[in-house]
Structure 1
């Protein structure tokens, strides 16, 4: 049995005492340790970080390359990497965002949300996040509650620990079973393991979606759907058993949400949701059609902490009805008239296998899977070569800290969110560089407008360019005036609010400047936001684009800014 370091044994770093300096970061304490690395809380120039030490092995290089592909508000931020120690380095040092918050299961215990809150605040953002991650050629392969942190500052779920991730186009590190946690493995993975004939398993996004189905079941019932690894019948249950429906175990679960969860756990992949975007659409539709049963806390035995309610869907702006998406119209008709109130429902019957004890741990930390939970399993799979991660270009020392630069050690490749993002991999070799636009000022009053909406420079919002459908893989846009809808609420920015601005075509890229947002009461507020993708400012044109009609991948965001660049 091989572990996450591709046959070299689980990484074992001696406990680094507070005050130890690693690549320019001062250790403050241990956060987590697992089969793929050890994470410490650290500080540099007064700023907090999480630094992760991983082995100098293909698995560590893979994690760096996966993290560098992503710049996403719901994915742990990556600031760079270096080698350590200075003499005879044996470890990669990854500088990560310190995600202050609670693991998802502990957040559930403390907050005890309603079904409406759970879908709107957690499950729908996670589905959209996985859609973006998968679009970049990355599969997480260890989606579970411990690897989802609900960030304290904004209440958003953040996907962490990409130590087990797979990367499109990268060489395989195992020959039999991919990394993963036993309770979250899909039926097709286990069937492959039983029938293995020497060919490597072709992991795909379906693995993450199945695991999210297991997570959803656990959140709704506080029980594992198929038992745990200590149960000799767990594998057979995953392959053959249909678990009891969540609303049968917990009558507070709305039937529509229970049915959605059960579809996520169908044995045949073709019977599940086709991809993360299809799942997001199903969650959005269920959320928009919610009745009063969705507004009851999911569990009666936990006192629910006060949390701000989800913003109600906005009233329709003055646009033709054909431009208003079905989700929006349904939400206005149903959720707009939903009644707040409690319903007395009996306590949940606990008749299935309880969760493993490690998922019950509570702390504000960035989580790693413990060694006995996550690992590579392979018959005869040995270490394979993998290219070393390429340092990120265009470092910005004034904005991000640098590693100490010994002569024989690569320094931290500092990167700034949404600036000079670098795509790694064969598919990115020919990607044209963006052409910079001359700086231009934001409209008068935009600073106050963003502040009123709770937005700060760099904040992301997922958007849909009207009149396109957000489920389309690509869209066609024209230069000039444009209207987009906001696909995720943020503080005081309403869900489905309309942003108005213009698209600017350059040779290889499209830029967008947005200067006005229409609130649910029809009021227009000045803002300063620009078109963004996970790769940086602007969006690269796709093959087939012309000077008048441009094709874009439909994974678009806007980010708040202090000036247009």
Structure 2
């Protein structure tokens, strides 16, 4: 097996005179490491020359020729290893900070603050376009908000273009479909388009993408959303709902500018210079209008949850009601830490309390029965949310059965319900393309961003407005029903004390959570129930396993956002995706930790997943077979925030 970059680049090793500290993130065409030289940090971007081809030289060509304000800087470059080069290494300025979207989620900015972020970004684009350079992959995740001064920094010119830059084939530049302009979509759908003909990406496309960014920042949703074929038709029609209609806290003047940026080509803001002038006028208007100082979304405060949050439920479909409620009332800012209830210490296990596989199956039946009972209680609690919550618990409220929160969080500090562009509800997938870098404090600027080989980022040529492909999962779905949180709680019920030698808890790989939730669009806690260990044929006869590296394959696509019947949804990982990681053998169970996913087309993602059995138990029960270690090969894979 050919070694990967992670196999050869490790912490504390020296590459080209730079000492590696840690991996920061990865995209489709490059991986970035934090490194040090002469006491100063920098970001090393490794681009594999053989697999990337001419794409690998575009960013170097652009950054070597120019230096722009509010754009990440190229410091140096070299090939590595020296004796037999395999990688082009770009030495980039290290920009600690978070992505623009993450900044909005963390700080819940007002309209004035949005304009103050967009103005320097527009000035940077003005300078970039003046040199005939185009970024071609503008999105909120390719803009970092730098720590300290809070300045926006544009990153990742891997898909950029300029005169005399290396040319590559393709009808459209790599980008997320939601940021495509109507004229780009019209070109893609042209029946008379010649083979090999490429779209002439222009400044107007760049301004449209910036308009999408503004729309998301102002409303917390995209102007257009849905399956690819429906999304193509909506973009082509070009009639988004006004931002101030979606969110009454958006000033009308800002809403109108956003719509002009999303208009058809002839009515769109013509260039970055005109956009800068318009933003400067808005800042002047903001000085005399206090409405520009109001946070655009609800905060995570007690007074932010009121009965006016909830629309009328009676006479309406519960799923549609919940979708409308959540989308109309996004929340931003730092959520409060959930109250932790300390569990009672478990009794020491005895031989009679160690469950066998048969015992576990027998115990699963009451759990399923309990789900039905809890569902009835859960519906009552949901209806109870229509009343103002009490400020303090009363003796009649049991601690072990709290009322469902208004955000319907699944035990995660950042609920999926509130950020459509980050972690969407199960019925509506989020953006699923690579970001510039993980949205953490140590985010590096130059992480390469490219399109996935399948899914929303590569458009399939279909007629606008046609029905999306409907594909049913073999084993259930995440479900979009009101009782989702109750069912999830029941599925996590503990079967009893067990004797096991569990591996020590471990943090996820750097950037894994960001990749899963933002890039692939898979929420933490999602389970895919069709994966097979090596040796799996038909049936589910036990197979031999051993401790060490493991590679298994998805049998069927991993889809996100299907309904309760497994219909609809969006592709996150295709059928045949290889999942790689480590197996740890305990006394009674084998535990699997998956850290990498590679699609059949070669797209590679850093992930954090565990192997589960029957969707209820972490780890695979060892089957009795003398001294051999055997487990059932059909497993389920669950996304986690930490290896337990």
TM superposition score normalised by structure 1? 0.54
Cα distance in 1, alignment partners of residues 73 and 32 from structure 2: 14
Q: Flag the 1:301–1:231 CA change in 2: closer, same or farther, 3 A.
A: farther
Cα distance in 1, alignment partners of residues 113 and 452 from structure 2: 33
Q: CA deviation at 1:69?
A: 2.9
CA contact (8 A) 1:177 1:377 kept: no
Cα distance in 1, alignment partners of residues 149 and 85 from structure 2: 38
Cα distance in 2, alignment partners of residues 47 and 345 from structure 1: 53
Correspondence for 2:439 among 342, 345, 362: 362
Q: Flag the 1:262–1:46 CA change in 2: closer, same or farther, 3 A.
A: same
**Is the partner of 2:291 in helix, strand or coil?**
helix
Q: CA deviation at 1:58?
A: 1.8
Q: CA deviation at 1:67?
A: 1.1
Cα distance in 2, alignment partners of residues 285 and 302 from structure 1: 32
Q: CA deviation at 1:241?
A: 4.3
Q: CA deviation at 1:302?
A: 4.5
Q: Deviations over 1:133-187 (max 9, x none)?
A: 1111211111111110000021100001111111123343124122212221111
Correspondence for 2:111 among 98, 108, 115: 115
CA contact (8 A) 1:209 1:275 kept: yes
Q: Is 2:452 the partner of 1:372?
A: yes
What residue is the counterpart of 1:215 in the other structure?
213
Cα distance in 1, alignment partners of residues 76 and 438 from structure 2: 29
What residue is the counterpart of 1:300 in the other structure?
298
Q: CA deviation at 1:361?
A: 6.3
**Is the partner of 2:91 in helix, strand or coil?**
strand
Cα distance in 2, alignment partners of residues 137 and 53 from structure 1: 26
Correspondence for 1:178 among 161, 173, 177: 173
Q: CA deviation at 1:369?
A: 2.8
Q: CA deviation at 1:13?
A: 3.0
Cα distance in 1, alignment partners of residues 459 and 58 from structure 2: 17
Map of 1:255-294 to 2, 5 A cutoff?
Answer: 255-266=252-263, 268-290=264-286, 291-294=289-292
Cα distance in 2, alignment partners of residues 286 and 272 from structure 1: 17
CA contact (8 A) 2:54 2:167 kept: no
Root-mean-square deviation (Å): 2.9
**Is the partner of 2:113 in helix, strand or coil?**
helix
* Higher-RCO chain (CA-CA 8 Å, sequence separation at least 6): 1
Q: Is 2:67 the partner of 1:91?
A: no
Q: Deviations over 1:402-450 (max 9, x none)?
A: xxxxxxxxxxxxxxxxxxxxxxxxxxxxxxxxxxxxxxxxxxxxxxxxx
Cα distance in 2, alignment partners of residues 181 and 170 from structure 1: 22
Q: CA deviation at 1:92?
A: 0.6
CA contact (8 A) 1:39 1:50 kept: yes
Q: Flag the 1:102–1:294 CA change in 2: closer, same or farther, 3 A.
A: same
Correspondence for 1:20 among 13, 16, 27: 13
TM superposition score normalised by structure 2? 0.48
What residue is the counterpart of 1:153 in the other structure?
148
**Is the partner of 2:47 in helix, strand or coil?**
strand
Correspondence for 1:101 among 97, 104, 129: 97
Cα distance in 2, alignment partners of residues 98 and 345 from structure 1: 46
CA contact (8 A) 1:112 1:302 kept: no
Q: Is 2:253 the partner of 1:187?
A: no
Q: Flag the 1:127–1:202 CA change in 2: closer, same or farther, 3 A.
A: same
What residue is the counterpart of 1:71 in the other structure?
67
Q: Flag the 1:146–1:168 CA change in 2: closer, same or farther, 3 A.
A: same
What residue is the counterpart of 1:41 in the other structure?
34
Cα distance in 2, alignment partners of residues 101 and 282 from structure 1: 28
Q: Deviations over 1:23-70 (max 9, x none)?
A: 111111111111121111111121100110113332121110111233
Cα distance in 2, alignment partners of residues 21 and 137 from structure 1: 37
CA contact (8 A) 1:115 1:298 kept: yes
Where does structure 2 lack aligned partners over 5 or more consecutive residues?
A: 310-323, 329-418, 422-429, 462-644
The farther-off stretch of 201-210 and 274-283 is 201-210
Correspondence for 1:134 among 129, 134, 155: 129
How many equivalent pairs are there?
Answer: 327
